[in-house]
Structure 1
Amino acid sequence: MHDSPREIGRKIMNELMGDGYVEGKDKNANAFTSALNEYSEEVCFGRVWARDGIDRKLRSILNIAMLTALNRPVQLRHHIEGALNNGVTVNELREILLHTAVYCGLPAAGEAFKAAEEILKKRDLIA
């Protein structure tokens, strides 16, 4: 028997964000938010992130750039965590965000740098 896209998505989310991430989301879910959580699990992670063609590190790099461009710091923080779990280095992260300053604008990149700094300090990757 094959796992459903949602089951695959939940597995990928835990691999990306760390064991227990999905279970933590489940504890906070309610009738209002559960539809969005299920959509994210099934479509975003269970169908798109599960595809071959590009690896997870590159998907993480793309997400960082897009979330910076969209100025979405809350989601960006989650995806910075995932990017680090997917092998993006501190130096690569800095270069990705510096690159966004040119194409997305300094204010958006500044917010992204703040979000990244917060995560990197929490992980003791920078002083």
Structure 2
Amino acid sequence: MSQGKEAELAGHIRGAVNNGCTEIEIQETMLQTSVYCGVPTGVSMFRVADKVISQLKAEGLLKA
């Protein structure tokens, strides 16, 4: 993610949901990752995740 890989992150988030991860688990993982990647990267990750999670909810693939 720190190298501008937003599309790859979106795919990994979708895959995590397909494997049973919850929205909270995804957020917690990104929070932990932000410590190592830096806050600006963390903010970018959360923006991507918010978009993907909203799409998954709209598609009925993730509980609202």
Q: Indicate whether the TM-score tops 0.5.
A: yes
Q: 2:15 aligns with which of 61, 82, 90?
A: 82
Alignment of 1:94 onto 2:27: yes
2-side partners of 1:109 and 1:93: how far apart? Answer: 12
Alignment of 1:1-127 (within 5 A): 68-124=1-57, 125=62
TM-score for the superposition, normalised by structure 2: 0.79
Deviation at 1:98, TM superposition (A): 0.6
* 1:47-99 Cα distance to aligned partner (Å, 9 max, x none): xxxxxxxxxxxxxxxxxxxxx34441111111111111011111100100111
What is the root-mean-square deviation in Å for CA atoms of aligned residues? 1.8
Q: Where has structure 1 moved over 6 Å in runs of 4 or more? A: none
Gapped runs of 5+ residues in structure 1?
1-67
Deviation at 1:110, TM superposition (A): 0.9
Q: Which has the greater radius of gyration? A: 1
Which has the higher relative contact order, 1 or 2, with Cα contacts under 8 A spaced 6 or more apart? 2
1-side partners of 2:44 and 2:63: how far apart? Answer: 17
How has the CA–CA distance of structure 1 residues 126 and 118 changed in structure 2, closer, same or farther, with 3 Å as cutoff?
farther
Deviation at 1:126, TM superposition (A): 7.8
SS at match of 2:12: helix
Work out the number of aligned pairs and report it: 60
State the percentage of identical aligned residues: 37
